[in-house]
Amino acid sequence: MDPVALEQLIAAALHARQRAYAPYSHFAVGAAVLTDDGRIFSGANIENASYPLTICAERVALFCAHMAAAGPVVALAVVTPTPTVASPCGACRQVIFELAPQAQIVLLNHDGSERRLTTPQELLPFGFGPDQLTR
């Protein structure tokens, strides 16, 4: 991935983290996706007093890109409030596996100083996708 595009993506994820609504967990997460047409879509986790209605930052960013009819997702950055990198939850791994199957994923700690590159297949080995559905 182009280093300049990567830094722009990371900056968008760090900025998105500031928009998180996490009054219950205090675990503010930011995410940003880069599509093949060069657009960046960001998202933050948004909690709800009815906990199951909470949505994660990764899904917000991916859903925004999808709704904008953007090109395929080529990269995803996820920033957590942790001193070391943390991985997306299971639900997000499933959505990433389907909506960004070829994306490069960079996981970052709270200030972006620690990074780990991964893939959807590494996050969700033997993932369930459209190919498993019978028609």
Instruction: List, as one string, the DSSP characters of 4-40.
Output: HHHHHHHHHHHHHHTT-B-TTT----EEEEEETTS-E
Q: pLDDT exceeding 70 applies to what percent of the chain?
A: 99
Composition of the chain by helix, strand, coil, percent to 5: 35, 20, 45
* pLDDT band for position 130 (cuts 50, 70, 90): confident
Binding site annotation covers 64? no
Binding site annotation covers 48? yes
Q: How big is the CA angle at 65 (ends 68 and 130), to the nearest 5 degrees? A: 110
Neighbours of 95 (CB within 10 A): 20
The two tokens of residue 103 are 């994306």
* pLDDT band for position 133 (cuts 50, 70, 90): confident
The mean pLDDT value of the chain amounts to 96
Quote the pLDDT of residue 37: 95
Quote the pLDDT of residue 1: 80
CATH number belonging to domain 3-123:
3.40.140.10
Query: Cα–Cα distance between 66 and 29 in angstroms, integer?
Result: 20
The pLDDT of residue 19 is above 80: yes
The domain segmentation of the chain, as residue ranges, is 3-123
Catalytic residue positions? 58
| 21-80: pLDDT as tens digits | 999 999 999 999 999 999 999 999 999 999 999 999 999 999 999 999 999 999 999 999
The pLDDT of residue 132 is above 90: no
CB within 8 Å of 81: residues ≥ 6 apart = 17, 26, 27, 28, 29, 110
Binding site annotation covers 109? no
| Distances, alpha carbon 9 to alpha carbons 15, 31, 90, 106, 127, in Å | 10, 9, 23, 10, 26
Binding site annotation covers 92? yes
Q: What is the phi/psi pair of residue 98, to 5°? A: -90, -45
Question: pTM for this one?
Answer: 0.94
The pLDDT of residue 135 is above 70: no
